[in-house]
Amino acid sequence: MIQILKHFGWTWSGLIISDDDYGVHAARSFHSDLGPAGGGCLAYTEILPWGDDPAELRRIVDVMRKSTARVVIVFAHKIDMVNLMEEVVRQNVTGLQWMASEAWTLAPELQTPHLMPYLGGTLGIAILRGEMPGFRDFLLQIRPDQHHNTRTGNNVVNQFWEHTFQCRFAPPPAGWVEARGELCTGQEVIENVETDFLDDSDLRPEYNVYKAVYALAYALDDILQCEPGRGPFSNNTCAHLQRMEPWQLMYFMEKVNFTTTFGDQVSFDENGDALPVYDIMNWLPDGRAKVQRVGEVKRSAFKGEELTLDEGKIFWNFESKQPPRSVCSESCPPGTRMARKKGEPECCFDCVPCSEGKISNTTDSMECTSCPEDFWSSPQRDHCVPKKTDFLSYHEPLGICLTTTSLLGTCICVVVLGIFIHHRSTPIVRANNSELSFQLLVSLKFCFLCSLLFIGRPRLWTCQLRHAAFGISFVLCVSCILVKTMVVLAVFRASKPGGESSLKWFGAVQQRGTVLVLTSVQAAICTVWLVSASPVPHKNTQYHSDKIVYECAVGSTVGFTVLLGYIGLLAVLSCLLAFLARNLPDSFNEAKLITFSMLIFCAVWVAFVPAYISSPGKYADAVEVFAILASSFGILVALFGPKCYIILLRPEKNTKKAIMGRGIGS
């Protein structure tokens, strides 16, 4: 029965048993096998009362009617079922799928048109039907004259003969009330009489007896075939039929293995039990009740229990003409897990969706499985999908904006450099140290271009190059500004009496050497950083659970700090020197512009540090790019904006007289 439950997915059923050894033993065995076999749970277990107990039967049927279980399994005798069905009819409880034990599967008392609306479609198990060759011929050869016992006159054959042919073998005693009937001759033709005695088409218990006798015969034959000195018992002895012990017979019985002429294999398991084979019967409403075989359940020593069903032949007593659904809770689809309901059987559960990052890809999953690190759960939570990647891309609006700004700054630097080269002989260009201005414009162009290394998916070479290029470019830029400031101070000092010697320390060669030395220090810092703890691409899964953030791990925080600190040191020094030179005469008032540009530079990078630390993933790169662009534009506009204005729009001020008289700031 459990195999049938499993086959149709009936995990929620009710059990009704008779109050005797048959029912109690069946219930105990059913309970013990149901869970391990995966046959589901029982909604209720009820015991039928002895005799006719209307109140108890009414209570049991009421439980059946209120239960959500649509399958009812009954281990009871047919008389118990008759009483139960009377109450079922009284309460008109329909829509149930009955499953019958072998005790009432073939009971004609229940196969009536009156009960078919309730019991139609019943599935039951019955002892295997078999055929015994020669059995009908044997029955036809039985004659009472061969078995007549004149002393008792009460043997079974005589009684059967008298009942079938309505005759007597001897006159009734004097005074016997029923004196009808002729004397039996023993020569009556039994083939001419309709009797169930000759019906060998449905031999079930008889077939079991037939197999049992043959099993014993095979065991006895093995005993007779045993050769002394080669026997299975102590000292290689054999069993003797005249003084054989029961355990010796059991030994040979366990070894029996034969196949009947009907094709059934007969053998015994390690417990001495015969391997069971049952027919599965289905009740059909066909004018009058009809039961047909629709399959079988058999257990073999090698394959375990096997169920064979011809579902096309099964009659279902429901409007849908399909097997009913009998479950406490519907199956949990993929993407969910089963959560047991407190205080209820294990078949009753809720389906809880898997949490983010976890999946279940099977029905009725007990647990949700976490996706691998680089994967995330699908919206349905039934499979893992690769995580989306996140980095500052050239294709997103922020990346496009920063890229455009970087290229714009580069183009402006090129244009300004072209203007300065074209007007290199004019007083305003010559008065502001044209060589350092050219170097400053080239370094600013590198500053704008290095920001592009922070955009796009991080690679090993971009991670290593981005900070090195940024650090060296900015040190080159700030070094040029620092040297320009120092030159301004030296020129002013040289203009005073006794200060002529100060200019010899700030000639063209010294200026180039100072810029080179200051830049080389930054190059050395970058080299040590890259060699000792180089920045590398890193897949960060901590910022977003459903995304992989590609970023550059700095490798050494100390190296990054020293790089920024050195730039900051030069910028602060430039700012201080420019601040000291702010009140010089107008002919040297570039110091005011340097002061303003360095204040912008320092303000941007002071704000950068907390913003960079608090920005996750690609936004940290965006903050750094913004700081690079903002500080670069600050220097470019503050230092070169006024000069380009005079060169292009106020050429009348681009004269030596104007510069020496009013200066570029007037």
Domains of the chain in start order, with CATH, are: 2-128+276-313 (3.40.50.2300), 135-186 (no CATH), 205-263 (no CATH), 336-386 (no CATH), 397-478+513-661 (1.20.1070)
pLDDT band at 151 (very low <50, low <70, confident <90, very high): very low
Query: What is the four-CA torsion angle of 14, 20, 21, 22, rounded to 10 degrees?
Result: -50
In angstroms, rounded to a whole number, what is the distance separating the alpha carbons of residues 583 and 199? 133
Chain-centroid distance of CA 40 in Å reads 23
| 477: CB partners within 8 A, 6+ apart | 440, 443, 444, 447, 632, 635
In this prediction, residue 666 carries a pLDDT of 36
What b-and-e string marks burial along 209-222, b requiring 16 or more CB atoms within 10 Å of the CB? ebbeebbeebbbeb
What is the residue whose two structure tokens read 């920024």? 564
Q: How far apart are CA 316 and CA 282, in angstroms?
A: 9
**CB proximity list for 456: less than 8 A, separation 6 or greater:** 391, 392, 393, 394, 399, 462
* pLDDT at residue 659, rounded to an integer: 64
- Whole-model pTM: value is 0.59
DSSP state of 171: P
pLDDT confidence band for 22 (50 / 70 / 90): very high
What is the band of 174 on the pLDDT scale with cuts at 50, 70, 90? Answer: low
Cα–Cα distance between 232 and 252 in angstroms, integer? 10
The percentage of the chain sitting over the pLDDT mark of 70, rounded to a whole number, equals 88
Task: State the residue for tokens 């950068």.
Answer: 608
What is the average pLDDT score of the chain?
A: 84
CB of 477 closer than 8 Å to CB of 444: yes
- Block residue for tokens 């059913």: 30
Q: Which two tokens stand for residue 331?
A: 């199956």
State mean pLDDT over 571-579. Answer: 86
Task: Report the pLDDT value the prediction gives residue 146, as an integer from 0 to 100.
Answer: 46
Q: DSSP string covering 403-417, please?
A: HHHHHHHHHHHHHHH
User: What's the average model confidence in pLDDT over 434-452?
Assistant: 90
The pLDDT > 90 percentage for the chain reads: 35
The answer, yes or no, to whether residue 57 has pLDDT greater than 80, is yes
- CB contact at 8 A, 222 and 238: no
Amino acid at position 136, single letter:
R
* More confident of the two residues 102 and 273: 102
| Structure tokens belonging to residue 109 | 């008392």
The Cα 65–Cα 76 span in angstroms is: 19
Q: In whole angstroms, how far apart are CA 267 and each of 132, 212, 255?
A: 18, 10, 8
Distances (CA, A) of 657 to 94, 162, 366, 652, 664: 117, 158, 91, 10, 11
Compute the average pLDDT of residues 315-319.
91
- The pLDDT tens digits of the residues spanning 351-391 come to 999 999 999 999 989 999 999 988 999 999 999 999 888 88
- Between 364 and 493, residue with greater pLDDT: 364
Token pair belonging to 196: 């169930």
Say which residues have a Cβ less than 8 Å from residue 378's Cβ, sequence separation at least 6: 359, 384, 385
Phi and psi torsions of 84, nearest 5°: -65, -45
**Confidence (pLDDT) at 286:** 67
pLDDT band with cut points at 50, 70 and 90 for residue 490: confident
pLDDT band at residue 153 using 50, 70 and 90 as cut-offs: very low
In this prediction, residue 69 has a pLDDT band, given cuts at 50, 70 and 90, of very high
According to the model, what pLDDT value does residue 447 have?
93
> Minimum mean pLDDT among 336-340, 519-523, 593-597: which range?
593-597
pLDDT of residue 664: 42
Q: Taking residues 312-340, report their average pLDDT.
A: 91
User: Within 10 A of 495 (CB to CB), how many other CB atoms are there?
Assistant: 15
d(CA 645, CA 567): 29
| Between residues 136 and 470, the one the model is more confident about | 470
Q: Do the Cβ atoms of 625 and 451 come closer than 8 Å?
A: yes
**What confidence score (pLDDT) does residue 557 get?**
87
Give the residue with greater pLDDT, 18 vs 540.
Answer: 18
Supply 586's token pair. Answer: 């107008």
Highest mean pLDDT among 160-169, 177-186, 213-222, 255-264: 213-222
Q: With a cut of 70, say whether residue 586 has pLDDT above it.
A: no
Name the range with the highest mean pLDDT among 237-246, 512-521, 607-616. Answer: 512-521
First to last CA, the chain: 107
Q: Residue 496: what pLDDT?
A: 60
The partner residues of 203 in beta bridges, in order of sequence, read: 130
**What is the tens place of the pLDDT at every residue in 531-573?**
988 888 988 887 888 888 888 888 888 988 999 899 989 989 9
- The residue with tokens 């990346």 is 399
Q: Quick one: average pLDDT of 101-109?
A: 89
Please tell me what DSSP assigns to residue 130: B
